[in-house]
Amino acid sequence: MTRWDRGLPRYGVGHRERVVRIREAAGKLPGPALCGAAYEGVGVAACAATGRAAAKRLLGGA
């Protein structure tokens, strides 16, 4: 097996369910707004979408 360092991350099995649990837990806290490649997609467009949603949450719009 070859590991390519600094390549695109690949989500593991159960990732979608894990993200649901993380977002539920974080949603109960006043502080964090989660975004980026760790959650709903590694492409720039997906990262930007989670960034916009996180900014909206921090600004009180979601």
Q: Are 36 and 22 in contact (CB under 8 A)?
A: no
Question: Judged by CB under 6 A, does residue 53 bind ligand FAD?
Answer: no
Question: Judged by CB under 6 A, does residue 37 bind ligand FAD?
Answer: yes
State which residue, 7 or 60, has the beta carbon closest to ligand FAD: 7
Rounded (10°) CA dihedral 40, 42, 45, 47: 60
Nearest approach in angstroms of CB 4 to ligand FAD is 9
Tokens of residue 54, six digits: 């996180």
* Residue ranges that bind ligand FAD, judged by CB under 6 A: 6-8, 36-37, 42-44, 47
